[in-house]
Amino acid sequence: MSLQSNQSLKCKISVKSPATLITVVLLVMIASLVKAQQVDYSIQAVPFTQVKFNDKFWLPRIRTNHTVTIPASFERCEATGRVKNFEMAAAHSGAFCTVYPFDDTDIYKTIEGASFSLSLYPDKALELYIDTLIQKVAAAQEPDGYLYTARTIDPLKTHKWAGKERWEKERELSHELYNSGHLYEAAVAHYMATGKRNLLNVAIKNADLVCSVFGPGRRHVAPGHEVVEMGLVKMYRLTGNKKYLETAKDFLEERGRFAGYDSASKDPWKNGAYWQDHIPVTKQREAVGHAVRAGYLYSAMADVAALTNDAQMVQAVDSIWQNVVQKKIYVQGGIGAVGDGERFGQNYELPNRTAYNETCAAIANIYWNQRMFLLHGDAKYIDVLEKTLYNGMISGVGMDGNSFFYTNAMEITSAFRHSDMEGGRSGWFTCSCCPTNVTRLIPSIPGYVYATSKSDIFINLFVSGTSNIKIDNRSVEIVQQNDYPWSGALKFTINPSRPEKFALKLRIPGWARGEAIPSDLYSFTTSSTQKVTILVNGNVIPFEMSNGYAVLNRSWRKGDRIEVVLPMDIQRVVANNKLIDDRQKVALQRGPIIYCAEWKDNDAKVSDMIVPQDVVFSTEFVPGLLNGVQVIRGQVPAIEVKTPTQVTTISKSFTAIPYYAWAHRGTGEMMVWFPVGIKDLTIIPAE
């Protein structure tokens, strides 16, 4: 989920459940008392509740998420004992029956995903089931608001990662505040989607406890796994209760204060960098440590920077973002290169064979970039968000909605199999953070398409559908019709409730302007045959670019049509020479889609192929393949082992598919980066 809860007070008007109207009105009244002081992002995302998709790319995935992933996820929460943990906590009897103390969050995250999903697929049975779960969650909450089944079940036998006392090991591995953070995120989404307060009440009670224990003038801790900071900001934006924001900020500012680390050590566990706890956040300039923790931290830094006007915090999070896009992100948008510690590597450490790329880290990266956009209003953040969304994030979930990658490989060859890297998807993991994170991210995508700022409307993503956008208390309907990401021909119909002058800021992706994303690390060696063209009501118009947006500032009338042509040539991508593993190699991109070659389409092998400069590629949409994908084809030289002592070179047909679509047809070789020529060969031996 991202900032779909921005328009906290406005969105309450649109809740569907009339029964909760009185509550909502009361909330509005209470909140308006503090509203005067409430600082928020100057740019606000249009909430997911206002955006309906009817496209062929995302809607089927959201539908599969609704019909397959969410039920399967709840079923697994039941079958593995995650639900039972709450029941036992309510009864104060039994023994914690799953593995990790953060297993509670899989329930919260699935409720969050289901809440987003209900906005597109109203589903009474699902809503009722969620209510029964919320009852169990509420029953497991201790009278003062504490909620952490791993302790409440039997306080004398807490989880080994938790201390004897509450919060005692929060800086390390107890995850007590991590659980709280996910509770808040779920509660806000659930309230926004349903208007029901049942989970929100639990969250408020817990947040009030957390803020009575921690925060300015009270106890301090740098939470061992960040997310409570993001959650508290959401709670603040929904309720206007300022102590939530203050405590979030306090959690951030406590980082880098612990004296027990060995700052001279290079071991990220010993020097605190694993937890981003090595130096104060405002002094941090580099993305380090566990990538999911980092992504959630940087998201919260953007939140707090914006909401408290903290210039130092802005400077820090801007620098860290620069560090990631200049030195630490894969071409498919994945982050967290190193398996040992699931963490960021050194600058330019982006190996292909061992690329870890946790799915959760891609999701965290989406959260973070959305917030960076809201903070600065620049399309470059959405460029990174789009890259991650269409490539390194959705690769993490199979098209059946029931199979997942925890890691997202960049290269699988028969010659080299690293034990960390998954060659095929799994149904579930003991540590199931990734599947439930996917469950909540996929249906939240409608919340990323539009944003508003005063009387401007930002169009960030291109997805067919209808949206209802409020600016200056008036409503504008925008209808998108396109075949994105396969076609760059985009149509928008603008239907203001009455003629109105406002600026439409239409994102022109970096890749459509000849820049690979991010351009510090990657570039195109090819140039487009077309230029970006914009027509309004059939006439080509000149347009001004500002921060990556084509600014269409005019008086709009109902039925106004915008047509945009984004060039979708096949691009050869090369990497910065500092990326050792990509040297003298090429990747392929078309539109926002990064390609890979998989064994299935290439005579069972892809590591034998060379892609020299002169290969001529063609492209074609294949409806029956992998739910419909645009493939790229060419003829390339390849190596053939004729006998155990004889090798030769042949011409071979090359077929590339979108990276996100790999690993749906059995396991075998896959590569993203192809050698442009042979300098040398390593022999894999055989009798």
Residues of this chain that bind a copy of itself (CB under 8 A): 413-416, 583-585, 607-608, 610, 612, 637, 639, 641, 644-649, 675-687
Collect all residues with Cβ–Cβ distance below 8 Å to 37 and sequence separation of at least 6.
Answer: 242
- State both tokens at 628: 């419909």
Least distance from a copy of itself to the Cβ atom of residue 527, Å: 20
Least distance from a copy of itself to the Cβ atom of residue 526, Å: 16
Least distance from a copy of itself to the Cβ atom of residue 261, Å: 15
CB closer to a copy of itself out of 12 and 652: 652
- State both tokens at 327: 């030195």
Question: In terms of Cα–Cα distance, which of 239, 243, 147 is closest to 202?
Answer: 147
Is the Cβ–Cβ distance between 607 and 599 less than 8 Å? no
CB closer to a copy of itself out of 25 and 684: 684
Q: How many CA atoms lie within 13 A of 525 on its CB side?
A: 14
The 3-state DSSP class for residue 200 equals helix
CB closer to a copy of itself out of 121 and 416: 416
CB closer to a copy of itself out of 34 and 647: 647
Question: In terms of Cα–Cα distance, which of 405, 238, 366 is closest to 307?
Answer: 238
The 3-state DSSP class for residue 134 equals helix
Least distance from a copy of itself to the Cβ atom of residue 636, Å: 9
CB closer to a copy of itself out of 121 and 269: 269
Least distance from a copy of itself to the Cβ atom of residue 418, Å: 13
Least distance from a copy of itself to the Cβ atom of residue 647, Å: 5
CB closer to a copy of itself out of 124 and 679: 679
Least distance from a copy of itself to the Cβ atom of residue 685, Å: 3
Burial letters 60-95, b for 16+ CB under 10 A, else e: ebbbbbbeebbbbbbebbeebbbbbbbbbbbeeeee
β-strand pairing of 456-459 with 500-507: parallel
CB closer to a copy of itself out of 36 and 681: 681
CB closer to a copy of itself out of 326 and 584: 584
Least distance from a copy of itself to the Cβ atom of residue 442, Å: 35
CB closer to a copy of itself out of 493 and 526: 526
Q: What is the CA radius of gyration of the chain?
A: 25
CB closer to a copy of itself out of 30 and 678: 678
Q: Hey, which residues does 619 pair with through a beta bridge?
A: 632
Least distance from a copy of itself to the Cβ atom of residue 268, Å: 14
CB closer to a copy of itself out of 76 and 290: 290
Least distance from a copy of itself to the Cβ atom of residue 600, Å: 18
- State both tokens at 665: 């047809």
Least distance from a copy of itself to the Cβ atom of residue 332, Å: 19
What is the secondary structure of 617-666 as a DSSP string?
A: PEEEEETTSTTSEEEEEEEEEEEEEEETTEEEEEEEEEEEEEGGG-SSS-
Q: Is the Cα dihedral 459, 460, 464, 465 positive or negative? A: negative
Both ends of the chain: CA-CA distance in Å?
A: 54
Q: Is the Cα dihedral 422, 390, 488, 52 positive or negative? A: positive
Is the Cβ–Cβ distance between 268 and 341 less than 8 Å? yes
Least distance from a copy of itself to the Cβ atom of residue 264, Å: 9
CB closer to a copy of itself out of 129 and 269: 269
What is the secondary structure of 296-354 as a DSSP string?
A: HHHHHHHHHHHHTT-HHHHHHHHHHHHHHHHHS--TTS----BTTTTB--STT---STT
Distance CA(523)–CA(574), nearest Å, equals: 6
Is the Cβ–Cβ distance between 300 and 284 less than 8 Å? no
